[in-house]
Amino acid sequence: MYFAFGCLSLLLSIYLGLTAALYQTDTVSTACALVRAEISFACLIYPTGIWFFSLYTGIAHWRRWVTAAALIFGALFVVNLLSPYSLLYTDITMRPPLVLPWGETVHDYTGTESAHVASIYYTAVNASYLWAVCSCILLWRRGQGARVWSLTLYLVVQATASVHAESLDHNGRRGLTFDSLAFLVLVLLMSGVLRRELQRRTQALAASLDGLRSETQRREGVEADLRHLAYHDHLTDLPNRHYMHERLQAALDSAEQGDGALILFDLDHFKTINEALGHDVGDELLKGVAARISEAAPNGACIARFGGDEFALHISSLTDTGEPPAQAALRIAHEITTRLTAPLRIGDHDLVVGVSAGIALLPGLARDVDNVLRQVDMALYRAKASGRHTAVVFESVMQAQADRRLLLEKGLRLALDRDEFELHYQPQLDMQGRFIGAEALLRWRHPAHGLIDPVEFIPIAEETGLIHSIGRYVLQRACLELDSWPAAHAQARLSINVSPWQLFAQDFVRTLREAVASTRADPRRITLEITENVFLHDLEDAAGKIRALDAAGFHFSLDDFGSGYTSLESLKKLPVRELKIDRTFIEGLRAGSHDRFIEAMIAIAHYLELFVVAEGVETEEQRTALAGLGCDAIQGYLVSRPLPAPEFRNWLAQHAS
């Protein structure tokens, strides 16, 4: 629209210039040329005017109108150029000059109008005006008068000027006409209107630019918040695992990396605190721990919470102190763990938390972050296994052990289907040397690694949940074996090891009853060995199940007694009938030696009316000493190593007496 108005203004000013020049010229030939030029420009002005008018008012089908005007006036333009005295006249003559009211003299010309072409031209011009008038009326009626008042005013001025010129002509009078000057009105009016409109638009643009700017700021703020959320832990506001992952990757990628370390801290028994004191206390504890690690961490180190009770510390350079990197990392880990062991006041509680730490040195052998994280996990696992509250640096042997563990875990899933398990039996004798029973001990005959001991694979089975299916197999096999013992040993018992996880299972009582029913074994000849770990979980639940099974005839034995932390109180609550003194107590026993500790254990057991079996008896000396201390039965290499079923049956045959 602005371009159209520019074109229109330019054409109009040229047109007015030509008109002015005509008043000044004193030769007919120049006047002729000027008239022709004037009419040529008029032929350009009308379509341009319609073009601008259409765009300004936003009239429908504006292209059609503009095209029609361009075609008609274009044709007239050509005719005008070809006619000797322009399209309007057949000749042009000079009249005596006009003297204006203020004394100025101007030239005046007149012409004989060409009959047809002039009327076509005037019709086109009048039609253009009529079109503009109709459009204005239409817009006024549509309530858009505010937009077209300036155009309306121009049309009125134009109409007045035209009527004035016509009346002069009609009356044969001479004088100045103003119809060309009406164009000036149009240009001035529209310039004002458009200028105001432009100003308003500029202001609106500035306002929306402001809006846009503040919107961008708001968006940037939200984006920053989101980024923070994605990379930080909401509880402690420390960076999270994701953040640490990227930082480690950047450290590994950087060309000039120094000797660094990743230390992973894990609170000991955090779960127990959380469950005992509630999650609010647990959360506060985690915040306190986060704050302490942050205080103790070396400058430039990055601390992240890996979720749960795990915190990671990345130190990019350990060489500042001149210590070997492993030693520096261990020192830092110890400084932090020591600081963490000071009691933390949370609400009414003074909490003491133990911390274990695993350390992976960087760059080390690991080339990618996942590997570093695996290494630090392995080191942490080792720290926890070696009695907690320690820090351990990853070594490549751990990788080999972890690899073996992974291999065993995979194999364990298939072992049952491949029938790779077998039970060995170790006899138990009373102090007079009579056979009273045997303990079933599980073995895994691995196709590639040979016979694997349960100490290695039972923990894996417990972690992976495979213990339930393996446990069922052991119960079935052991009950079948018991059924096959010779009648001479009809009173002998069979002891079966039961993992705490099995005892926890909802269907444990049912599973056991089914195993017994399907094998026709007598529950009264079965002893289930449980370890003290059952007390660490749900004592009430365990006691309930033991009571139910005891009522069904099964006996329970407390295995590895003395190696853990059974309270006498809980021992009283559990209806067990037997107690097995752990091998570690027997190791140091000699004939005639008076071990007060074992004596006390036996006394308590007898006070609670429990049968006492000593495990791991390897020498005659130990047997004699145990007899002196009042022990009821022994089991160990002195009697026999655990034997595969056929060999055990041979052993039984030899001990038929």
54 binds ligand C2E (CB under 6 A): no
529 binds Ca ion (CB under 5 A): yes
Contacting ligand C2E (CB under 6 A), which of 336, 642, 643, 652?
642
Contacts of 421 (CB under 8 A, 6+ apart): 415, 442, 443, 444, 445, 470, 473, 474, 477
**Both structure tokens of 322:** 């001149």
46/421 with CB nearer Ca ion:
421
How many C-beta atoms surround the C-beta of residue 67 within 10 A? 14
Contacting Ca ion (CB under 5 A), which of 240, 390, 426, 497?
497
**Both structure tokens of 186:** 């149009």
Query: Is the Cβ–Cβ distance between 245 and 310 less than 8 Å?
Result: no
Query: Is the Cβ–Cβ distance between 358 and 382 less than 8 Å?
Result: yes
**Both structure tokens of 474:** 């052991």
Binding mask 586-615 for ligand C2E (x = CB under 6 A): -----------------------------x
Contacting ligand C2E (CB under 6 A), which of 377, 559, 595, 632?
559
Q: Please, which of residues 456-515 interact with ligand C2E by CB under 6 A?
A: 458, 474, 497-499
User: If binding means CB under 6 A, how many residues of this protein chain bind ligand C2E?
Assistant: 22
Q: Please, which of residues 400-429 interact with ligand C2E by CB under 6 A?
A: 426
Q: How far is Cα 465 from Cα 472, in angstroms, rounded to an integer?
A: 12
595/615 with CB nearer Ca ion:
615
Smallest distance from ligand C2E to CB 517, Å? 20
Residue 147: contacted member of ligand C2E, Ca ion, none (CB under 5 to 8 Å, by partner type): none
Residue 441: contacted member of ligand C2E, Ca ion, none (CB under 5 to 8 Å, by partner type): ligand C2E
Smallest distance from ligand C2E to CB 468, Å? 11
- Can you give the C-alpha Rg of the chain in angstroms? 54
Handedness of CA 327, 328, 332, 333 (dihedral sign): negative
Binding mask 516-555 for ligand C2E (x = CB under 6 A): -------------x--------------------------
For residue 347, count CB atoms less than 10 angstroms from its CB and return exposed for 0-12, middle for 13-18, buried for 19 or more.
exposed
| For helices 28-57 and 145-170, angle between their N-to-C axes, nearest 10 degrees | 160
Query: Is the Cβ–Cβ distance between 277 and 341 less than 8 Å?
Result: no
Contacting ligand C2E (CB under 6 A), which of 246, 453, 463, 507?
453
Smallest distance from ligand C2E to CB 642, Å? 5
Residue 636: contacted member of ligand C2E, Ca ion, none (CB under 5 to 8 Å, by partner type): ligand C2E
38 binds ligand C2E (CB under 6 A): no
128 binds Ca ion (CB under 5 A): no
Strand order in the sheet with 302-305: 302-305, 310-315, 260-267, 355-362, 391-393
Q: In angstroms, how far is CA 138 from the centroid of its own chain?
A: 61
For the chain, give the number of residues: 657
Residue 260: contacted member of Ca ion, ligand C2E, none (CB under 5 to 8 Å, by partner type): none
Strands 310-315 and 302-305: antiparallel
Contacting ligand C2E (CB under 6 A), which of 441, 579, 598, 605?
441
Smallest distance from ligand C2E to CB 640, Å? 9
Q: CA–CA distance from 574 to each of 67, 581, 635, 640 (Å)?
A: 105, 17, 24, 31
| For helices 115-141 and 28-57, angle between their N-to-C axes, nearest 10 degrees | 30
51/457 with CB nearer ligand C2E:
457
Smallest distance from Ca ion to CB 529, Å? 4
User: If binding means CB under 5 A, how many residues of this protein chain bind Ca ion?
Assistant: 5
Contact set with Ca ion (CB under 5 A): 497, 529, 559-560, 615
Contact set with ligand C2E (CB under 6 A): 426, 441-442, 453-455, 458, 474, 497-499, 529, 559-560, 583, 615-618, 636-637, 642
